[in-house]
Structure 1
Amino acid sequence: MKLDVLAIGAHPDDVELGCSGVLIKEVNSGRKVGIIDLTEGELGTRGTVATRYQEAADAAKIIGAHVRENLKMRDGFFVNDEAHQMKVIRMLRKYQPEIVIGNILEDRHPDHGKGGQLIYDACFLSGLRQVKTYDDNGKEQEKWRPKYLLHYIQDRFYEPDVIVDISDVWEQRLDSIKAYKTQFFDPNSSEPQTYISSPEFLEAVTARARLLGKRIGVQFAEGFLSKKSIGISSLDALVLQET
């Protein structure tokens, strides 16, 4: 299956927190969207690997993703080396996305920055003909490099290069995040409280979306960084907002 957009996250729930609004909008526009989780989130304080898989499946259904895969890298300990890059390259060549959205390049959680740089390097290497990969049937894959790689903002705030209005899908986006019932606030949970399980965490997620929305004159938005300049064919591509 060829995808239009492939979102990649170091942990299950990274994609939902970072770019689920854009993914929902793409699905609603008739485009094919996929999600790749690098790890199973096995070091998470709350829940289990089994519950994370179920929550990830539930979230993918809410988003409308056409496919979701997990590369089972070691949570907390994966590295940006050839072996890990090749795993990501195989996914890029398998799904041939036009746009990839991945982790930020530096953040509070080391896996986010490692994941972002791993995705960045893999996107470049995937376009080299001499880098050989093979599918599950042993057939050599064709080289593929996405047209754009965007990085979603995570814990630390960065000034975005691109801001996307997600006001019309905000509630659906929030539902995809809340699908991770073991990870976020639950007054009935007896598990230890974590950085992301307090009610204030989801309030902060909403506040950031409002802040980014205000920048472009809408209610809610998601922001992205790009190391590549993004060009347009004409001024018609600009959507002018009243301020």
Structure 2
Amino acid sequence: MKLNILAFAAHPDDTELSCAGTLAKHIDLGDKVGVIDFTKGELGTRGTPEIRMKEASKSAEILGLSVRDNLSFADGFFENDHEHQLKIVEKIRQYKPDIVIANAIRDRHPDHGRASEIVKTAVFLSGLAKVETTDQDGKAQEPWRPKTLLHYIQSIPITPDFVVDISGFWETKMKAIQAFASQFHDPKSDEPETYISDPKFMKMIEARSLELGQIIGVEHAEGFTIDRYLGIKDLNSVL
């Protein structure tokens, strides 16, 4: 299956919190979109890997993803090395996305910035004919170089290079986030409080979306960074 957009995430719920509105919007436009999580979030304070896999499947249904995979990397300990890079190259070549979206370039969780760098490296390697990989049937994969690599923004505020209007898709984003019920505020839960289970965390997510939306004159928006200049055909493109 060829995807238009493939988003990578260090942990289940990274994409939901950061770019689910954009993914939902593109799915509504008819694009095929997939998410590949690196880990099962097994080091998370709340919930279990089994619960988080079920929550990821539920979120995938809400968003209408064409693909949701998990690479089963070691939470907290995966590295930007040959082994991990090739696993991502295999997925890029399998799904042949035009656009790849990765974790934030830096963030409070060290996995996020490291995941960002692994994907950046893999996107380049995926286009090299002499980097050899095979598919699940043992057949050689053809090189594939996505047209664009983007990075979503997570906990640490990063000035976006551009923002996407997600007005009309905010409720879908919130439903996808709430699919990960084990991770967020629940007054009935007796599990330890964490950074993201604090009710103020979800308020921050909405406040950021409202702020970015206000800046471009819409209700809600999500921000992204890119490692190159964005080109426009003419000045009418920025009206």
Q: Same fold (TM over 0.5)?
A: yes
Give CA deviations for 1:55-101 in whole Å, capped at 9, x if unaligned: 00011111110110000000000000000000000000000000011
Secondary structure, counterpart of 1:93 in structure 2: helix
Give CA deviations for 1:132-171 in whole Å, capped at 9, x if unaligned: 0000111110101110011000010111011000011001
Partner of 2:120: 120
- Mapped pair 1:76 → 2:63: no
Give CA deviations for 1:182-216 in whole Å, capped at 9, x if unaligned: 00011111111100001111011000101111111
Pair 94,236 (structure 1): closer, same or farther in 2 beyond 3 Å: farther
Supply the AA of the counterpart residue of 1:7. Answer: A
- Mapped pair 1:144 → 2:139: no
Partner of 1:158: 158
Secondary structure, counterpart of 1:73 in structure 2: coil
| Counterpart Cα distance in 2 of 1:72 and 1:169 | 30
Partner of 1:91: 91
| Counterpart Cα distance in 2 of 1:48 and 1:168 | 32
- Displacement of 1:230 in angstroms is 2.0
| Counterpart Cα distance in 2 of 1:133 and 1:176 | 33
- Displacement of 1:234 in angstroms is 3.7
Q: How does 1:191-210 map to 2 (within 5 A)?
A: 191-210=191-210
Structure 1's unaligned 5+ residue stretches are none
Secondary structure, counterpart of 2:169 in structure 1: helix
Secondary structure, counterpart of 2:35 in structure 1: strand
| Counterpart Cα distance in 2 of 1:156 and 1:197 | 17
Partner of 2:64: 64
Partner of 1:132: 132
Partner of 1:176: 176
Conserved? CA contact 1:148–1:228, under 8 Å: no
| Counterpart Cα distance in 2 of 1:30 and 1:235 | 28
- Displacement of 1:105 in angstroms is 1.5
| Counterpart Cα distance in 2 of 1:60 and 1:233 | 35
- Displacement of 1:237 in angstroms is 3.9
- Give the paired residue count: 239
Supply the AA of the counterpart residue of 1:151. Answer: H
Partner of 2:29: 29
Structure 2's unaligned 5+ residue stretches are none
Supply the AA of the counterpart residue of 2:126. Answer: S
- Displacement of 1:236 in angstroms is 4.9
Partner of 2:9: 9
TM-score under structure 2 length normalisation = 0.98
| Counterpart Cα distance in 2 of 1:233 and 1:89 | 31
Question: Structure 1 residue runs of 4+, over 2 Å off?
Answer: 232-238
Pair 235,86 (structure 1): closer, same or farther in 2 beyond 3 Å: same
- Displacement of 1:106 in angstroms is 1.2
- Mapped pair 1:18 → 2:18: yes
Percentage of matched positions with identical amino acids: 52
RMSD, aligned CA: 0.9
| Counterpart Cα distance in 2 of 1:68 and 1:237 | 34
TM-score under structure 1 length normalisation = 0.96
